[in-house]
Amino acid sequence: MVNITEYIEGKYPDFSNAAHRDLCIKALEKLHSRGIAHRDVRPPNFLICPDETKAYVLDFGFSKKVKEDSHDIFKSEKNEICHPNNKR
């Protein structure tokens, strides 16, 4: 596994920090506007740039392209809530 912080300056967000949360939410909103559901949102899957003006979303292993009008983007074919620990 590659630790991206070895190659890019930045840090993982602190979700108890409102500014970090807002940056991560903004990054997710951008993904959602392009029809992508990340489906594995947690601090290690974001990187905050050094000047703390932008967050980058990492690890798209569980992401899914969804229809724009889809309301069930977090459900699997079996209508179960998708989570990385779910075994199908």
- Domain ranges, ordered by start, for the chain: 9-88
Q: Are strands 64-65 and 55-57 parallel, antiparallel or unpaired?
A: unpaired
pLDDT over threshold 60, residue 81:
no
CATH number 1.10.357.10 given to 9-88? no
Contact partners, residue 50, CB within 8 Å, separation at least 6: 9, 10, 11
Cα 84 to the chain's mean position, in Å?
Answer: 13
pTM: 0.67
Q: Are 24 and 46 in contact (CB under 8 A)?
A: yes
Contact partners, residue 21, CB within 8 Å, separation at least 6: 13, 15
Amino acid occupying residue 86: N
pLDDT in tens, 18-72: 999 999 999 999 998 888 999 999 999 999 988 999 999 999 999 988 875 555 5
